[in-house]
Chains A and B, each alone.
Chain A
Amino acid sequence: MPNTVRPGAFTSRRAPGSRRSGSGLSVDQRGLRNRWGLLLMITLLLLVVGRLAVLQGVDGAAYANAAEQDRLRTYPIAALRGAVLDRDGNPFAYTVDASRVVADPTVVPHPARTAKALTALLDVPEGELTEKLSQDDRYVVLAAQVSPETTDAIDALELPGISFEDDPVRLYPAGTVGGQVIGFVGRDGAGLAGIEQTFQEELAGTDGHRRVEVGSGGNPIPSGIDESTPATDGDAVTLTLDQDLQYVTEQRLAEACEDGATTRASAVVLDVHTGQVAAMGSCPGYDPGNYSKTDPELLGNPVVSDVFEPGSVMKAVTLSAALEEGLAEPDTVLTVNGHIAAGDRVVTDAHDHEPVEWTVTGILAKSSNVGTIMLAREVGDEKLEHYLRAFGLGSTTGIELPGESAGILQDSADWTASRAANVPIGQGVSVTTLQMASIYQTIANDGVRIEPRIVESVTSPGGKVTEAPEPESTRVISEATADRMAYMLEAVVGPGGTAPLGQIEGFRVAGKTGTAQRANPECNCYEGGGYVTTFVGFAPADDPQYVVAVDLERPTSSAEGGQVAAPVFADVMRYALTADGVVPSGTPRPDFVLTGTP
């Protein structure tokens, strides 16, 4: 060791290049110092190793996780809500991709400048945007349901702090057509009315998400973590409605509502053989895409939820009961007075008259209250109630729509004498338009009632079709009774009947008018309530295909069903038959015997 400086009298202990360590110390001192040094080093090392062990071993997973979370961004992938289609696949409602424009104001460098750039694209006032962008917040929503084109345009501006989230938008291309049936969805995407509500679970689907590793700028790192759980889109619901027929029906109802006296008009079209609803609507209707600007009172479906006293259309049930019980035949002749005593009051025909000899057919064709009450008394209250319930009155039909009313039908045991005289002629008993149509579907379908249904099937995004369960069908009256009822109902539309306006050229039509006093909601009495005029019928009478029920609420008019409801029926039915290619009746209408000699 040539550089080693040996300690000596003339040698500096701090010679250049020399190391202080060790020099000038005794062996003992050096050993002591080394030992302490070693101890210190070991302690320090242990501390470091210990800390490392804690960091890596004990808290390691948590730190690694935190670091990953810092790099990972989770973006929700919104599931597209399933479409609502008509029976031919035309959409009533469907969902398209759109975005919500959100901002992180802490990252936005120039709120005013950014607001100016966005105001025209988002159609939001500049002041509102500036205010939102200046907030001391990390998340503000600038605009919802922005179209992809607008999103692209904003994206091209490369504004810092502005980002997008999935926010699909529900579209109702047909507007008001079928609006009351389809319903609408609220801001949170949940169905709040109609099919949207009933089939919320099927339509909604399941949201997914995408986890991406991002760099400091928030951009995804290529070859970094990028895993996504795809969203499962909702199922599509196919209805039994026919969009064209629905449109024509609503157009015709809207026209009826414009006559100055009608405040509400409803109609429903049923397929006779399946009980399926081909069209259902009322005026005034609403556009589900614009429900928030509609009077909340109108956001229902009156065809299934509003009840009214149907009036004379109910006579078909009374006469069916009389025929089924063998108490009368269509040509049975009764001497009918112009009025009849019923408890504390007297029920008259529409126009009081001297006693006439009418056949049962004549009673129906002339819509005689007195004749019907005479037959009902022969049937008896209990039996009559049985038939009324068998035809579906007093209970819901089970249609796949929310808010369905069961109507009002008291137990016959509780009927007063005047109620017992009112029920057979359709007063003191309340029904929905759908229940009314269902009665005539039963008669048209040879006496077998099929519960009306409006959903045909549910289709998964993968294309798996689940047919709606078969509706319950029950025989209410015999085929023979149904045939005789159809014959008698045809007389109503024939010469001498109450509804010649219900005729459709080329087709034999069977139906019944009704004009019932409307309960005034203000006093819960009939005073000033006006009338509900109805017409229910089916065609062709010789081979029924469709049932159409129409009712108009006319608080200020006393016009009869044959005058105002029958023409609406005829127009809707004509379109239904023509569009479906139903061949006109091949046999002429039979001659009806309305009067006779007992």
Chain B
Amino acid sequence: MTSRATARVHVRGTSPSARTTTPRATRPGTRSTPRPTPRPELRLVPGVTAARPRRRPASVLRHKRAPFVLLVVALLVGTTLGLLVLNTAIAVDSLKATQLRVENAERAQEVQRLEQQVVSGGTPAEVARAAVDAGLVPAGAAGYLVIGPDGDSVLRGTPEPAGAPGDTEDED
């Protein structure tokens, strides 16, 4: 009985040595009046009472708090790390995007340069010059073979053999 009462006191006070003195002795007495009713419940754990005093009550609480603190710390660390990872990932992506954009621009530049080459090489004046260089001559009058409904072919126009390169350069 008394041991249980002291145990209670221990929970509340921080310096048990100072509190086990006289004023507290009245407490069990004052409390003894309402006790008859809850007593059967308290009796349900007589075996444990022997072990209890050995365990320090503060550590019980600490044990109860520990998972919560751990959870909070874990959450904090997790969030920080997560944020860091996300941030890094975004930064990496952003850098990659910039890099790809630069590469893209380079490719576009290359395409533009090549297209420009094709266009300037394909102008009529360039083609004409290249043709003359290759020894080609402007075509003369062409002859056409027109196939009639009866299958016979008729020659239209008077085909002329092309002149030697250089001979006909003043023709168009």
Q: Contact residues of A with B, CB < 8 Å?
A: 90-91, 94, 96-97, 148-149, 152, 171, 173-175, 177, 220, 222-223, 243-244, 246-248, 251-252, 505-507, 571-572, 574-575, 578, 583-586
Contacts and interface: CB of A to CB of B under 8 A. Distances in A.
Interface stretch (B15-23, B50-58, B116-124): B116-124
Interface in B111-156: 112-113, 116, 119-120, 122-125, 128, 139, 141-144, 146, 154, 156
Contacts of A174: 123-125
Contacts of B95: 222
Interface string B38-68: 0000000000000000000000000000000
Contacts of B87: 223
A8 to B, nearest CB: 32
Given A94-B119, A222-B91, A506 B124 contact: no
Contacts of A251: 172
B84 interface: no
Given A171-B119, A505-B158, 19 more contacts: A91-B119, A96-B116, A148-B113, A149-B109, A149-B113, A173-B123, A174-B123, A177-B124, A222-B91, A222-B94, A222-B98, A243-B123, A243-B124, A244-B124, A246-B124, A251-B172, A574-B141, A578-B141, A583-B157
B109 A575 contact: no
A507 B142 CA distance: 11
Contacts of A243: 123-124
Which residue, B87, B91, B95, B144, has most C-beta atoms of chain A within 10 A?
B144
A171 B113 CA distance: 13
A506 B160 CA distance: 11
A568 to B, nearest CB: 10
Contacts of B108: 97
Nearest to B156: A584
22 contacts: A90-B122, A97-B108, A149-B109, A152-B109, A171-B119, A177-B123, A177-B124, A177-B125, A222-B91, A222-B95, A243-B123, A243-B124, A246-B124, A247-B128, A252-B172, A506-B157, A572-B172, A574-B141, A575-B172, A583-B144, A583-B156, A586-B146
Q: Which 10 A-B pairs have CB atoms at the shortest separation, nearest pair first?
A: A247-B124, A584-B157, A222-B94, A506-B157, A584-B156, A148-B109, A223-B94, A173-B119, A223-B90, A174-B123
Contacts of B141: 505-506, 574, 578, 584
A583 B124 contact: no
A171 B125 CA distance: 16
A91 B123 CA distance: 9
For the complex, would chain A's binding face be called helix, strand, loop or mixed by DSSP majority? mixed
A152 B144 CA distance: 56
Contacts, number: 80
A358 B141 CA distance: 35
Contact of A173 (B98, B120, B139, B171): B120
Nearest to B124: A247
Given A97-B109, A223-B94, A505-B141, A175 B125 contact: yes
A586 B124 contact: no
Contacts of A578: 139, 141-142
B156 A506 contact: yes
A213 to B, nearest CB: 11
Contacts of B98: 220, 222
Contacts of A152: 109
Nearest to A507: B157
Nearest to A246: B124
A220 B87 CA distance: 16
B112 A97 contact: yes
A349 B154 CA distance: 44
A75 B65 CA distance: 57
Given A94-B119, A222-B98, A244-B124, A583 B158 contact: no
B144 A96 contact: no
Contacts of B122: 90
B77 to A, nearest CB: 23
Nearest to A147: B113
A351 to B, nearest CB: 32
Contact of A248 (B119, B143, B158, B172): B172
Contacts of B125: 174-175, 177, 247
